[in-house]
Amino acid sequence: MNPSNIRNFAIIAHVDHGKSTLADRLLEKTKTISKDKMKEQFLDQNPISRERGITIKLAPVRMVYKIPNPKFQIPNNSKIQNTNVRNSLEFRNSDLGFADSEYILNLIDTPGHVDFSYEVSRTLAACEGAILLVDATQGVQAQTVAHFYSAKKENLTIIPVINKIDLPTAKIEETARQLEEMFGFKKDEIINISAKSGENVDKLLEKIIEKIPPPKGSSESLKALIFDAFYDEHRGVIVYVRIVDGIIKKGDRINFFQSNTSSIASEVGYFIPNLSERESISVGEIGYIVTGVKDIRLARVGDTIYRKGEDIDPLTGYSKPKPMVFFGMYPKESSSLGKLRDALNKISLNDTSITFTEEYSSFLGSGYRVGFLGLLHAEIIKERMENEERLDILLTMPHVLYEEDSDGHIREPYIALTIYTPKEYVGSIISLCENKKGKLSDLSYFQNNAVIKYEMPYTMLVRGIASDIKSLSSGFATIDYEHLGFKDADLVNIEILINGLSIDILSERVYRDEALYKARQKTQKLKETLPRQQFRQIIQAVVGGNILAREEISPYRKDVLAKMSGGDRTRKDKLLEAQKKGKAKLNQTGKVSLPQEVLYSLIKS
């Protein structure tokens, strides 16, 4: 295929603005998928994606588009010099410099949720253009802003598109003004569509061909950028690649630059949308390579594939995302530990952003400390393990990644938080963020909306600031964030003791200025949920050897005199004394018991 007839592009948008629906219409319009085989969210093959109605994994597809009428109206910015052509109202496709009316459109559908922003950044590195999709009923949202600037950073050509124009609540003119004011688009650049009905989708396809530049590259030495990979137990690692230079053929000997691993391309091909084998894939194209490599860590995303024996400079790659939220993951049945380990190994083959190491809790037994990109990421992986592996597992309280130096100084991760909200909620949201240790970095207004930017500890995301903002704004505000690095933090460790025994899974790091409140909250919750015993239970929250909060659960009291119908006082005193000694012995030897349901309720709270 002539590279000048190739267009590589992504669809980027805030979550639930219609990316997957637009991808469905493009598949239909290009006849990549016939109508009888089409189903909603066709590219979202993951069952959890389909169930939740969100994209959680990028998905490439190769479409062949034949322009129904190979004549275009001359665009205003056309550089055509032919006077005769310019004097006519129409010109043939060949006048644009292309040989025919058939084009290869490589689309990569991307996730919208903030936890999966790293998938978007990988996608953009493989494209020349992007469709910026905005819901006409909601307008520009936080991740619309974030994705726009990510695409600009990659120097992509961006086509602004307003979706859902067929809905009665659509605010088309207002949304167009937002795109003009915030991003500098011109009104005639914006395309209004209905991805659901297909209205104006043909016009969008022609705009993709007209505006997005074809890929550039040399036909000499092979250079292929890995933008995704998954593990197939029969064929090894299968990598998704953008061929930047050269050509790769089935049977070629290839090298991975970063890991210095050699292998043979046992199969190459395209996504149509399933894997479709070909003899070769060449410069400018997007496709896959079956590598035969058995360890996915040797085929890293962002690495450069080149032909063995050639001397090349690697492509600018993509840095692997660093897990920021950590949970203890334990099987509810100790006999399932091996099954849990196998499940984590299996999932990590296709999701290299997960990390896990063994850990032990005196109350939950053996388990793993697992790192995730965010709370939704953790929730989805847990759901996958329960559905696919039939595992019943418990995630303990989430913790963020800290840095600690040899002197004991602790540094915590910070984020740049962007909040997009109707302006009437600005005051409430600012008050919330100030109480959450946020530092205001920018506030700007666009029509009836505001964009608020804060620097804030990542911990506040774990504690649910996203839900708090949704609640304060009646569900209208949206957020996006990016990592800023680490900053000094004044943290202390709260240790929970019951009768002097440390409850390891309930201990946590908190800010020094909130330690007293957290200590009281934890001890009170334990008092409410722990069952009474035959002995007294003393609950303490301790910081640095100092008891900050204390609660007590009194023991059951048995009436040892109930069966006595008579007798003198000395006989009664003997029974009471024996009971007293028994209580004292139980207080010393009674074993603290935390029922599983109590632990679960404490962890979930």
pLDDT for res 74: 47
Task: Give residue for tokens 């109605």.
Answer: 53
pLDDT for res 56: 42
At the fourth CATH level, the homologous superfamily of domain 3-211 is: P-loop containing nucleotide triphosphate hydrolases (3.40.50.300)
Q: What is the widest separation between alpha-carbon atoms in the chain? A: 127
Confidence check: pLDDT of 552 > 80: yes
Architecture category of domain 492-604 in CATH: 2-Layer Sandwich (3.30)
pLDDT per residue as tens digits for the range 203-243: 999 999 999 999 998 888 899 988 888 888 889 999 999 99
CATH match for 223-307 among 1.20.120.790, 3.30.390.30, 3.30.565.10, 2.40.30.10? 2.40.30.10
The per-type count for the chain, helices as H runs and strands as E runs, is 15, 33
Residues 6+ apart with CB under 8 A from 83: none
Pairing of β 191-192 and β 261-264? unpaired
Banded pLDDT at 258 (limits 50, 70, 90)? confident
Give the start-to-end residue ranges of the domains of the chain.
3-211, 223-307, 325-401, 404-488, 492-604
CATH of domain 404-488: 3.30.70.240
CA–CA distance, 479 with 454 (Å, rounded to integer): 11
SS3 at position 588: helix
Instruction: Decide: pTM greater than 0.75.
Output: no
140 to each of 167, 171, 421, how far by Cα in Å?
Answer: 17, 11, 10
Top pLDDT among 84 and 314 is at: 314
Banded pLDDT at 569 (limits 50, 70, 90)? low
pLDDT for res 156: 94
Top pLDDT among 95 and 346 is at: 346
Confidence check: pLDDT of 90 > 80: no
pLDDT per residue as tens digits for the range 377-411: 888 888 888 888 888 888 888 889 899 888 888 99
Confidence check: pLDDT of 61 > 50: yes
Confidence check: pLDDT of 280 > 60: yes
| pLDDT over 70, % of the chain | 79
Region 182-186: what's the mean pLDDT? 93
Region 435-460: what's the mean pLDDT? 93
- Please check whether the two domains, 223-307 and 492-604, share a CATH topology: no
- Which amino acid would we find at residue 445? Y
Task: Give residue for tokens 């295929």.
Answer: 1
61 close to 42: Cβ distance less than 8 angstroms: no
- Please tell me the number of Cα atoms within 13 Å of 259 on its side-chain side: 18
Structure letter (DSSP) for residue 99: S
DSSP class per residue in 383-428: HHHHHHS---EEE---EE--EE-TT--EEEEEEEEEEEEEGGGHHH
| H or E element in which residue 468 lies | helix 465-472
Banded pLDDT at 558 (limits 50, 70, 90)? low
Q: Where are the beta strands (DSSP E) in 54-101?
A: 59-66, 71-73, 90-92
pLDDT per residue as tens digits for the range 324-367: 899 999 988 888 999 999 889 888 877 777 899 998 887 788 99
- Which amino acid would we find at residue 128? E
CA–CA distance, 322 with 336 (Å, rounded to integer): 28
pLDDT per residue as tens digits for the range 119-133: 667 678 889 999 999
**Regarding the domain delimited by 325-401, which CATH topology (the fold level of the hierarchy) does it fall under?**
Alpha-Beta Plaits (3.30.70)
194 to each of 18, 110, 165, 559, how far by Cα in Å?
Answer: 9, 19, 6, 76
CA–CA distance, 584 with 589 (Å, rounded to integer): 9
Region 508-537: what's the mean pLDDT? 89
pLDDT for res 52: 42
Residue in 443, 111, 62 with CA at minimum distance from that of residue 275: 62
